[in-house]
């Protein structure tokens, strides 16, 4: 199944998607009201993390899709489905804004990993766009398994580079 086929299947359920992406900021607002009254509950911080993940995963996927459509296929953005292209990004922004006003992202479990993943995707997208725009032609005559291995190695190198870029020492502060 391709991504296009998956989006076509989701196209039959746009009402559910609109309800889901509208529910996330409302749920974040409701939990924020409880969070103010509960004086920083660990349970509510976990609920915040779940809401962030529920909004960030489709939001990042939509960002990647828009990036691909805009820069690689040169699709006119006026012709894309607004529900599955822009609504997840808007919902993600609203959720991040609501939760960011009420809680520190550093206190939320798993948020550091999510930010690292989003940064890694942005870096890989930028490098991919740079390679695409430079018109570097490379012949690859190995198997698809070798290509997947090379892609995994590049991903690991980017991940190691990002942890080095972070600059935080595991042994303590200097």
| pLDDT per position as a tens digit, 116-141 | 888 888 888 887 887 777 765 556 66
Residue that the structure tokens 């948020």 belong to: 111
How many percent of the chain have pLDDT more than 70? 87
CB-CB contact of 60 with 118 (8 Å): yes
* Confidence tier at 171 by pLDDT (50, 70, 90): very low
Residue pLDDT, tens place only, 33-61: 888 777 777 888 889 999 999 999 999 98
From the list 55, 84, 131, 168, the residue with the least C-alpha distance to 123 is 131
Instruction: Give the lowest-confidence range in 32-36, 55-59, 69-73, 145-149.
Output: 145-149
pLDDT score of 53: 93
Please tell me the distance from the alpha carbon of residue 118 to that of residue 60, in angstroms, as a whole number: 7
Tokens of 106: 């550093």
Runs of H (alpha helix) within 11-167? 14-38, 42-71, 82-85, 87-102, 111-134, 144-166
Cβ-proximal residues to 170 (8 Å cutoff; 6+ apart), any chain: none
């Amino acid at each position: 199944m391709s991504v296009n086929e998956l989006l076509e299947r989701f196209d039959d359920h746009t009402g559910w998607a609109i309800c889901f992406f509208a529910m996330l900021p409302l749920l974040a607002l409701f939990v924020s009201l409880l969070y103010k009254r509960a004086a920083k509950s660990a349970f509510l911080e976990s609920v915040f993390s779940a809401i962030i993940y529920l909004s960030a995963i489709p939001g990042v996927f939509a960002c990647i899709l828009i990036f691909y459509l805009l820069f690689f296929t040169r699709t006119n953005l006026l012709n894309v489905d607004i529900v599955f292209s822009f609504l997840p990004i808007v919902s993600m922004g609203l959720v991040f804004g609501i939760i960011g006003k009420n809680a520190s992202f550093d206190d939320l479990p798993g948020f550091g990993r999510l930010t690292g993943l989003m940064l890694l995707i942005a870096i890989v997208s930028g490098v991919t766009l740079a390679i695409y725009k430079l018109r570097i032609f490379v012949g690859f005559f190995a198997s698809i398994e070798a290509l997947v291995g090379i892609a995994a190695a590049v991903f690991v190198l980017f991940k190691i580079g990002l942890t080095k870029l972070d600059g935080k020492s595991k042994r303590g502060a200097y």
